[in-house]
Chain A
């Protein structure tokens, strides 16, 4: 298959890790070559974080570079804007509506940009906006934001739904599985509407 370049961007602490682990499990099931790359350490403390996931027949570089992402899943609006230049022409942007003010905004040294979603839509026709926080709350656990977004992602790929569900079952601890399956379904059915 053609290589698939996915980026997961957000704010340290938002739980982007689970999404990348499930993507890794999906790749294994499909017998793809896969590389997942993220940076640990200082940048994780509430900073801007990014995970690169690349799937395909043979993957060399673990990084997705500017203009190369087929899909970007953004957990936060401002981060969508920051990483937008990584999306390739015709790529898909999955944007969570959540906003988290960065320190320069909190202390009044910068303004949180306005109309981010509109700007992203202008540049990328395939933008899917998700209120994942509300959906997660509705499902019964605020921490399932990542699974909601994963459901939206799953629908955007050619990979069978069963493979995603199996990977989810293998990766998520059993006591949180039901709520995560529910969240995944909510995300998966979102685009059909």
Chain B
């Protein structure tokens, strides 16, 4: 049976069919749906949202050593967090097969950088596979597990946004009956102290030699002969773009992107007149092929920044101009993403902007607070960075500066990697004020549970992390819980806490406006044309539902949810509940 599946859903299906029984992840676009699909559809697989990618990988390693086939999924920057276990699990090897799925985000649709994860395979000395559509996503998970077990190593499966988030046809298969392997204590293999690790490093190098040999013969790498005037070496989504652009030429499609099959590459390049490498982001293949002494053209024509496309290849390599007919040549206003109507963060940023604070930001929906009209965020680097950075600012510029500085971080991000930063502030005598934006869910990635929500990935009730007790336990005495929509009270609390000569934690508590289990807004509001004085103070909260129509300020009833934040800033009581005439059905 054929089914239309996202690349991510196909990865989940592959794990199911291959008999995986443990799946771990921290949500991150574009990887999130892998583990969501597993949790929703495959009950024989234990799945979890781990607090971060490092823990997720460690759980998967434990499962593998205990004899299960396991899968651990993350976005590209998540692999930075999980890099520590990655480099050493390369030494210990596995027992049950272990696949690490990493989804890169060329073009940065939803990420803070554009790193090319293929370098991790090379530096950690583990094989990497890269599928080019959903069918291969499924097939390659199985292949990866087999390679993992045959070569005693983890295998990385590299996806990219267009693979993860494109649906294509997948032929479904039967579930393999995979038996849990025996667990054997093996001190020399699994305890990486210097004496044992030195021996394992030798094994890793031997393994690399065997893997290079494997790469020459595996069906993962294949030549498609066409016209021999042009030969293209490519992989993943770039292969699909190349097929569109070049048409009937010859291709060496690499399904295994590390290590490379040198003999196969030589054979292919020897038979074509002109050799191109088409790869997204870094010249990863190109540099290795050039080092083999083979003449090849790649990044001197194609960009190393952003996504590729068939048109880019046509234009840059083949010199074909794309014909555009229907373009309208005038300035088109941009439409950046915005915080939703009813978003709890809007209250927080209104207050922070009003108080003119320096705000160290973090990763989540609230990063949108950096954009107009809020414009109240100064920094955003990586998960958890806000807290350490606020501390660093205080140590650099002193206490007066830190009285005008805060860090804001979401509940899930705080659990992910904010706690250690907070301990640093306490331990090293800082005075920073940290605001946890607790919206009761992991928002930006599309509503995943986390240790603060009280539910597991399967929606089962579980023990909830008590942020107040946690802060108290690490030595923070000043912990305040406040509703960011209670603007006056919230402002007062922020003022008090930045003034306090000790570290403080403010928990800004209000559920995500899209969280159905907790939110019950009363429906759209309207602005009374008699009472409104057009002072536009309601516009300063940056709600997309409030629109300046020139002669009047109006509320778009198709967008307004009735959160009533605007009523709290209006000085003329001009905003009221919309009547029965409202358009919302």
Q: Give chain B interface residues in 309-345, CB to chain A under 8 Å.
A: 309-311, 322-328, 330-340
**Is the pair B333, A40 in contact by a Cβ cutoff of 8 Å?**
no
In A130-152, the 8 Å CB interface with B consists of 137, 140-142
> Which residues on the A side are within 8 Å of B243 (C-beta)?
60-61
Q: Across the two chains, which residue of chain A brings its CB closest to B110?
A: A41
Instruction: Kindly state whether residue A159 has any CB partner on chain B within 8 Å.
Output: no
The smallest C-beta distance from B531 to any residue of chain A, in angstroms, reads: 21
B317 to chain A, nearest CB (A): 15
With contacts A81-B328, A108-B548 known, is A40 near B323, CB below 8 A? no
Distance, CA A86 to CA B311, complexed state (A): 12
Identify the stretch in B120-128, B365-373, B573-581 within 8 Å (CB) of chain A at 4 or more residues.
B365-373
Is A30 engaged at the interface, CB distance under 8 Å to the other chain? no
Does residue A177 face the partner (Cβ distance < 8 Å to B)?
A: no
* Residues of chain A with a CB closer than 8 A to B165's CB: 37-40
| B328 near A123: Cβ-Cβ < 8 Å | yes
Complex-state Cα separation, A134 to B38, whole angstroms: 40
A160: Cβ under 8 A from any B Cβ: no
Given the known A-B contacts A33-B169, A78-B335, A142-B584, are A103 and B324 also in contact in the complex, defined by CB atoms under 8 Å?
Answer: no
Q: A106 near B547 (CB under 8 angstroms)?
A: yes
* Residues B310 and A91 in contact, CB atoms below 8 Å apart: no
The yes or no answer to B29 lying at the interface (CB within 8 A) is yes
CA distance A109 to B336 in the complex (A): 13
**A61-B244, A89-B323, A103-B372 known; A45 vs B166 contact (CB < 8 Å):** no
Check if A45 sits within 8 Å of B338, measured CB to CB.
yes
Complex Cα distance, B169 from A34, in Å, reads 7
A79 touches B335 (CB 8 A): yes
Cβ of B102 within 8 Å of any chain A Cβ, yes or no, is no
**Complex Cα gap A40–B326 (Å):** 27
Which secondary structure dominates where chain B touches chain A? loop
On whether the beta carbons of A62 and B162 are closer than 8 Å, the reply is: yes
Contact: A24 with B336, CB < 8 Å?
no
- A63 and B323 CA atoms in complex are apart in Å by 17
Rounded to whole Å, the gap between the CB of B69 and the closest CB of chain A is 27
Output the least CB separation between B163 and chain A (Å): 9
Contact assessment for A91 and B326 in the assembled complex, using a CB-CB cutoff below 8 Å: yes
| Residues 529-585 of B at the A interface (beta carbon under 8 Å) | 539, 542, 544, 546-548, 556, 558-559, 583-585
* Chain B residue contacts of A79, Cβ below 8 A: 335
Residues of chain A lying within 8 A (CB to CB) of residue B548: 106-108
What 1/0 mask marks residues of chain A from 85 to 122 whose CB sits below 8 Å from any chain B CB? 11111010100000011111111111111000001100
Task: Please tell me the number of chain A residues within 8 Å of chain B, measured between CB atoms.
Answer: 65
Whether A66 contacts B444 by the Cβ 8 Å rule is no
B240 within 8 A of A: yes
- Whether the pair B340, A60 counts as a contact (CB closer than 8 A) is no
Q: How far is the CA of A112 from the CA of B330 in the complex (A)?
A: 12
Is A66 within 8 A of B324, CB to CB? yes
The residues of B that contact A45 with a CB separation of less than 8 Å are 337-340, 365, 368, 444
Q: Contacts of A33 on B, CB cut-off 8 Å?
A: 168-169
Q: In the complex, what residues of B have CB within 8 A of residue A13's CB?
A: 340
Which one, A36, A66, A93, A108, contacts B4 given CB within 8 A?
A36
Contact between B4 and A106 (Cβ–Cβ < 8 Å)? no
Among A59, A78, A100, A106: residue with most chain B CB under 10 A: A106
Contacts of B556 on A, CB cut-off 8 Å? 100-101
The verdict on A192 contacting chain B, using a C-beta distance below 8 Å, is no
Docked CA distance A63–B168 (Å): 12
Residue of A nearest to B333 (CB): A110
Asked if residues B544 and A37 are in contact (CB atoms below 8 Å), the reply is: no
Closest approach, in angstroms, between the C-beta of A92 and any C-beta of chain B?
A: 11
The digit string for B224-249, where 1 denotes a CB below 8 A from any CB of A, is 00000000000001001101100000
Check if A78 sits within 8 Å of B332, measured CB to CB. yes
Quick check: is A155 within 8 A (CB to CB) of the other chain? no
A161 at the interface (CB under 8 A from B): no
| Smallest beta-carbon distance A102→chain B, Å | 4
B333 / chain A contacts, CB cutoff of 8 Å: 78, 102, 104-105, 110-113
Q: Is the CB of A103 within 8 A of B328?
A: no
* Closest beta carbon of chain A to B166's beta carbon, Å: 4
Query: Across the interface, do A41 and B445 meet the contact criterion of CB distance under 8 Å?
Result: yes
Chain A residues whose C-beta falls within 8 Å of the C-beta of B445 in the assembled complex: 41
**A66: contacting residue among B29, B322, B373, CB under 8 A:** B322
Q: Which A residues lie within 8 Å of B331 (CB)?
A: 110, 113
Is B37 located at the chain interface by the 8 A CB criterion?
Answer: no
- CB of A42 within 8 A of CB of B544, answer no
- In the complex, which residues of chain B have a beta carbon less than 8 angstroms from the beta carbon of A106? 539, 544, 546-548
Q: Judge if B30 is at the interface, Cβ distance under 8 Å.
A: yes
* Residues on B facing A (Cβ under 8 Å): 2, 4, 29-30, 32-33, 109-110, 133, 161-162, 165-169, 237, 240-241, 243-244, 309-311, 322-328, 330-340, 365, 368, 371-373, 444-446, 539, 542, 544, 546-548, 556, 558-559, 583-585
Binding site for B on A (CB under 8 A): 11-13, 24-25, 27-28, 33-48, 59-63, 65-67, 78-79, 81-82, 84-89, 91, 93, 100-113, 119-120, 123-124, 137, 140-142
Q: Which 10 A-B pairs have the closest CB atoms?
A: A41-B110, A41-B29, A47-B337, A85-B327, A102-B335, A62-B166, A110-B333, A45-B337, A37-B166, A60-B243
22 cross-chain CB contacts under 8 A? A11-B335, A35-B166, A37-B162, A39-B109, A40-B32, A41-B29, A41-B30, A41-B110, A42-B110, A42-B444, A45-B340, A45-B368, A46-B544, A61-B244, A63-B310, A85-B327, A86-B326, A102-B333, A102-B334, A103-B336, A103-B373, A112-B333
